[in-house]
Structure 1
Amino acid sequence: MSDRKQTCDVCGREAIGIQSLGCCASTVCEEHADPQMRSMKPGEKKEWGICFFHRFG
């Protein structure tokens, strides 16, 4: 079992990943994820400028 947070910081639903948009990072669900995060496959990681996205696998 993973010890990483699995709930959305905004609403408490199941999280799909972690997104860092510059200085702020959030664990987010499908609804609150950036479109870039929503388009990613499970387990995928992306760096995009100062942003970082990690979709849970």
Structure 2
Amino acid sequence: MGLLEILTIIFVICKLIGVISWSWWLVFLPEIIAICWYVFWIVIYVLCFKKTKKELYKWDS
């Protein structure tokens, strides 16, 4: 678990016990940021793998 996931858990608990009165999208914003970060790195990985795969086939022919 990273910092953003821990922050999300803390914010959800605080929201449920009434310590904060933020809207739910603000409570889950750290998790949304984490998901976007993970998706970004997955896209980078897929693009690099695709490029590497093309270069490997280039050498085969």
- With the length of structure 1 as denominator, give the TM-score of the two structures: 0.23
| The structure with more strand, counted as a fraction of residues | 1
Higher CA-based Rg: 2
Structure 1 or 2: larger helix share? Answer: 2
